């Protein structure tokens, strides 16, 4: 066996472990029992394969955002952020997030519509990608205080690739809370 092929091969049929990455997942709900949906989703994240740790922020309430802007007449959202230490590939993690949403009755009928559960992959380590199925970091994360503030509450040194420090991004929004 060549030296290159032998690197990382133990001979016992096991693969070398993948490196863990911290992924940032935003959670939101504005229909049904919002608090229960967020709590259950965090527990489901903890049960995913190749997930080593999940740390979740407290939930915050925010006004619904529609394509035309803030909609104070729509049901308010409850939002939180979870930091997920995982060895899942980002596309695989995203597919699990969609499955969790589906189990909670998420229907994708209209863009930015009301929902029982919304799970967005905000960042995956320092990965930057833009494909038909996944854009990282999330293209609107730096515009959303309901993502930045909860994230900052559980990681004071949070950093959003391509944007910079989360506390600076939040301050630019006028939400330096």
User: Which is nearest to 122 in space by CA: 78, 153, 157, 166?
Assistant: 166
The yes-or-no answer on residue 120 being catalytic is: yes
**In the chain, how many domains are there?**
1
Catalytic residue among 34, 114, 120, 145: 120
Is residue 54 a part of any domain in this protein?
A: yes
87 class by beta-carbon count within 10 Å (0-12 exposed, 13-18 middle, 19+ buried): middle
Q: What residues have CB less than 8 Å from 35, skipping those under 6 apart?
A: 59, 78
Catalytic residue among 114, 118, 144, 145: 118
Single pTM value for the model = 0.86
Show the domain range for 101.
Answer: 18-172
Kind and range of the H or E run holding 60? strand 60-62
Which of the residue ranges 8-12, 53-57, 102-106 would you say has the lowest mean pLDDT?
8-12
Is residue 3 a part of any domain in this protein?
A: no
Is residue 1 a part of any domain in this protein?
A: no
CATH number for 77:
3.30.70.560
Is residue 57 a part of any domain in this protein?
A: yes
Is residue 23 a part of any domain in this protein?
A: yes
Catalytic residue among 106, 114, 144, 145: 106
The yes-or-no answer on residue 118 being catalytic is: yes
The yes-or-no answer on residue 157 being catalytic is: no
Is residue 5 a part of any domain in this protein?
A: no
Contact 154, 57 (CB under 8 A): yes
Q: 122 or 11: which carries more pLDDT confidence?
A: 122
Is residue 94 a part of any domain in this protein?
A: yes
Convert the pLDDT of each residue in 137-173 to its tens digit. 999 999 999 999 999 999 999 999 999 999 999 999 9
Convert the pLDDT of each residue in 106-145 to its tens digit. 776 666 667 899 999 999 999 999 999 999 999 999 999 9
Catalytic residue among 114, 115, 144, 145: 115
Is residue 63 a part of any domain in this protein?
A: yes
The yes-or-no answer on residue 145 being catalytic is: no
């Amino acid at each position: 066996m060549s030296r290159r092929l032998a690197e990382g091969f133990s001979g016992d049929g096991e693969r070398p472990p993948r490196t863990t990455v911290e992924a940032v997942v935003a959670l939101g709900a504005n229909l049904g029992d919002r608090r229960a949906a967020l709590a259950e989703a965090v527990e489901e994240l903890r049960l995913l394969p190749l997930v080593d740790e999940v740390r979740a922020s407290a939930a915050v309430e925010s006004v619904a955002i529609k394509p035309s802007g803030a909609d104070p007449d729509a049901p308010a959202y409850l939002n939180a952020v979870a930091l997920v230490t995982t060895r899942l590939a980002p596309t695989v993690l995203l597919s699990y997030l969609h499955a969790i949403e589906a189990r909670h009755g998420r229907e994708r009928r209209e863009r930015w519509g009301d929902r029982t559960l919304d799970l967005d992959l905000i960042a995956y380590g320092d990965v930057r990608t833009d494909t038909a199925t996944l854009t990282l970091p999330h293209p609107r994360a730096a515009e959303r205080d309901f993502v930045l503030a909860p994230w900052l509450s559980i990681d004071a040194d949070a950093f959003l690739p391509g944007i910079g420090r989360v506390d600076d991004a939040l301050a630019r929004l006028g939400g330096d809370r």
